[in-house]
Structure 1
Amino acid sequence: MRLRLREFRPRTGPHEHRVVQPRQSLRHTSLRAPEPIGILLGDHDGLNRLAGLFSFAACSRYTIVHVPLRDGVPPDEGVGERVDLVLAHHTLGLRSSKWPELRRRLVDGTPLTVRTDEARTVRDAGSWTERGQRADFRDGLRHATHARTFFLFGSRDVFAATATYFAHAAGRGPHQKGVAKGHSALMTALPSLSQPPGGGHPLEVLICFKPYPPYAHFERPGH
């Protein structure tokens, strides 16, 4: 997949960071952080581009991927405050408390076009799934919510696996019953989110497909 991005090189003290954003917003995609259930609601374009962004994040361990989602078209379902999304490798050491300072420095970005490697993404996702059968498996998605932003910290393999989840949702979502009438369709959920200690309801972020209105423009594949 070809991704059109903006690249930023903000500095904090002696450190330079690399941050990328989609060049065009995901207008019909929104995210509500888990409290304890969150929902990511997107059309085909939004879910497909998120698949590409997770695939890119998997192979870019020194890059922060920032996906602004708060300024899109407000969804007509779901509760809770909408948040942006940030992806970063856990080895990068990004702290969510430092993000507002970095975000303020995201000005004068440079156009960037990249291509994702779908074959490598599938291989890495398969490796993650295979290792998930082991008793000592610990390669999940760590997360935090801060400053109206939902952060996901992970490894190459778990980001690759998540990319395949979004690709599935984008590809199969338009075939689901009721979507042509404007109903959302639950497709999957973010895999292996880390859970807080103490039990209680598990944290989840559901991934749902929903075409954007007016729904007369949308026709299910094969019809």
Structure 2
Amino acid sequence: MKLPITIHQARLGSTEFKVIRPARPLVHAVLIDHDRHLDTYLDQDAAQRIGGLWTLAASSPRSLVHLPMRGNRGPSHALPEDGTRQLDLVLLHHSLQFAPSRWKEVRRRLGPGRPQTVTLPGAGHTDEAVTDHEARHYQENRDLFHQHLHAETLFMTGSAKVFRDTARHFFDVARNGPGYAPVHPSYPHFCSELHSNDGTLGDAREIHIEYCGQWDA
């Protein structure tokens, strides 16, 4: 899978930060904060590229992967309700030890960026057979996501392994969403979920990931 990105630099004092963004805007992608949980609505292109960026986060421990989407217009059936808000998303490795309180300043100082295309393993290379699902629930498990919210941005912090293991949710939506035929009124849309039962969420809220093929102009 070839993924066009832009690489940006920002300096705060003596520290330089590297920020990776998708080369093209993720037009049909929204992330909505419902307080108790989070909803993501994506078309096929956005789901495919976010899966790629999720995979890239696993191999980029010194970078912040920024997905700007808080200003996007969502599908009509998923308009934000009172008390909800749309967010950007930042993916980062826990070893970076980045303080989200610095993000607003980093974001403001980002340069124009330089284009680059990275080659990633295809979605089929994620081998579920080698994932020890039971081990995820052990107390010693450190391959967990943690979330922080700052400056209208959700920070997903995790290990390389947890990013690799969960990118499949987005690839699954990209692959199966467009051809999905509803079989029950309770399941009108194809979706996947980062769920607490999966053993990948530490102090992180669940994220519902839904395919949407029809978007408002």
Q: TM-score range by the shorter chain?
A: 0.7 to 0.9
Report the TM-score when normalising by structure 1.
0.82
- Alignment correspondent of 2:213: 211
Report the TM-score when normalising by structure 2.
0.85
- Alignment correspondent of 2:102: 98
Kindly indicate whether the alpha-carbon contact (under 8 Å) linking 2:9 and 2:111 is maintained by their aligned counterparts in 1.
no
Kindly indicate whether the alpha-carbon contact (under 8 Å) linking 1:124 and 1:156 is maintained by their aligned counterparts in 2.
no
Structure 1 CA distance, aligned partners of 2:169 and 2:4? 21
Q: Does the residue aligned with 1:185 lie in a helix, a strand or coil?
A: coil
CA shift, 1:117, in A, is 2.2
- Can you give the 5+ residue segments of structure 1 that lack an aligned partner in the other structure? 197-202, 215-223
* 1:193 to 2:210 alignment: no
Kindly indicate whether the alpha-carbon contact (under 8 Å) linking 1:44 and 1:173 is maintained by their aligned counterparts in 2.
yes
Question: Identity rate of aligned residues, in percent?
Answer: 31
CA shift, 1:128, in A, is 6.0
> 1:136-183 deviations in whole A, cap 9, x for unaligned?
3232110011110011000001001121111111111123235xxxx9
Q: Which moved further from structure 2: 187-196 or 102-111?
A: 187-196
Structure 1 CA distance, aligned partners of 2:12 and 2:124? 33
The equivalent position to 2:90 in structure 1, one of 70, 86, 106, is 86
User: How many residues were matched structurally?
Assistant: 205
* 1:68 to 2:72 alignment: no
Kindly indicate whether the alpha-carbon contact (under 8 Å) linking 1:88 and 1:152 is maintained by their aligned counterparts in 2.
yes
* 1:111 to 2:119 alignment: no
Structure 1 CA distance, aligned partners of 2:215 and 2:138? 44
Q: Does the residue aligned with 1:9 lie in a helix, a strand or coil?
A: strand
Q: CA RMSD in A?
A: 2.5
Kindly indicate whether the alpha-carbon contact (under 8 Å) linking 1:188 and 1:206 is maintained by their aligned counterparts in 2.
yes
* 1:157 to 2:161 alignment: yes
